[in-house]
Structure 1
Amino acid sequence: MPRKNDESNFNFTGLYPECRNEFDQCSSKMHGLLYTSYSAICSDFRNNINARLSANWKIEVICIQLLFYLHDIIKKKHELNDNIKARCNYFYYKLLYIVKKYGGGCGKGDECYKYFTDIDEKTLEIMEYLDEIYNLINEFTISHNRTTDKTHKFKWWIEKLENHPYKNESNLNEELAKIILKCEEYRKNWNDKRFDYWAALLLTDSWMNTRKMSLNRKASETTKSIEEHTESLETKRVGAQPLMNTVADDVKNTGISIGTVFITFSILIIIFILYKYTPYYSFIKPRVHKLRKKLKKITKMIWALWTNLILNTKIHLMGVIK
């Protein structure tokens, strides 16, 4: 099941419309021996998730289509290259969608799961909205489906997506921008009074401008948030600089940069622990043997430098007090 905590930094790139369209195309492949085999698997799946009885046939259809989609992913995995992650994430989303919509709970298989990015509840909602929007976009490819009723639904889903309290707005804004471009395309090209002209009138200048203003506002807020975070880090860095300078001046009085030596010493300690007590020793180069031999010598040098620094500090303080 999806996580209930805050949204992960989920990447929607490649999911819409690419993966959604490929999944939709699988409905035309649902026949033959594979269909019979997948029907039996989906029957077991339906029972295992304790789905509601009223939804049996719906689960059967979407489950079989999902298995055909998985079959395509496996068959083409060497061709998909970087896109396999997006396709597997869409497969995982659909699996979660079935369980969430029709009840029950599900376990995990092995085929796609190594490519999954965990999908939390808020991200799952976003993907449901996007699926509804792209279902309508797909219907709009046929002229007589461009009705005012469906255009009202199209606008409603867009506004629902736009108003969702999703924290990773930069990812969501990219998807919204693509959808607004589609709306612009419809306004320009829907001019047949027998079908789409009246639907296009619903995508008014006012509605479009509101969507664009919302997008620009969110983009500005995201940019401002990044700038504020950067300024905060810069302030901390500047505030720490005097202290760093003071330490550096004290270290110079010893004739050597104790900070550099201390860092080197720390690295040697870490390498030693990795080599001695963990399985990572196989990744450490043979040069570690020489470094280990120098460990005792460097320890003595660090201690001498540290003692010298403390002594110099005490002498300095005594001079100030006098």
Structure 2
Amino acid sequence: MERRDIPRGRFAPSPSGRIHLGNILCCLLAWLSVRQRGGKVILRVEDLDTARCPRRYAARMEEDLRWLGLDWDEGPGAGGSDGPYYQSERTALYQAALERLTDLGLVYPCFCTRAELHAASAPHREDGQVVYAGTCRRLSAAEAAERAKSRSPALRLRAPEEEIAFADGHMGLYRENLARDCGDFLLRRSDGMFAYQLAVVVDDAAMGVTEVVRGADLLSSTPRQLLLYRLLGLPAPAFVHFPLLLSPDGRRLSKRDADAGLDSLRGRAAAEVLGKLAYLAGFNPSAEPRTAEALLADFSWEKVPREDIRIPAGLF
């Protein structure tokens, strides 16, 4: 049997702090979706920004997932043939992909500063991201070489003037014109750090991932990633995006603000946390404690809402 004939899901967090309820819901949904079909779960640590994601945070995250009963078949502590499972140790793969895109004539240096990118006159998407205006795309080779003497450039991919559409497994049809709605996007930052869009495509393809489950805040990333899959000649997984979990006052949960973090939850049973999350996500009839294994029988994407989910005050 070919590897892609076996469902392969993944949980790929950035351990920049203690995981919160939104992270746990993501892992739970990804785990249930692939386990229910007899598939494999991969844990990949997205720690490209090593200053923000020290290894001790990753170790604590792995401990929290084990406590919750959300195990994995491949990844840190479990081994596997597609490691290493820390992105900070996979940069040679990203460099090879970048060189391939460069050979296609699709990459150019960008010298724009953060202030210039976020200027008041810059167009912004609904999610707040800047639509890059293509300022440096028009630089000649000589102009780019001169600017590189005083500033290290970021590297961008030329976004094509075309619409990219896909059928999300939960949110339905999504489409975007990359040139108009996104602009040329980053592949590598000016400090040499590879961008999320490139790294996640390279890793999911290399690890044989067939299904990506993640929050709806990343829905708009998918057309960029589908373009990269196509350009690199890699098979794309199926995508399933779920609604975001919001605090009782309607804010997005944040590691920085310690919203609903596990520091305040480890004093209770893991099944209590999972049962309440599954109740909010629509596939636990009540908020009663349930283990991840017990939730397999009731899980269905049809039961999960498509609108953001606000946590009732006092539930946790």
TM-score, normalization by structure 1: 0.26
Flag the structure with more relative contact order, 1 or 2, with Cα contacts below 8 A and sequence separation at least 6.
Answer: 2
Which has the larger helix fraction? 1
The structure with the larger Rg is 1
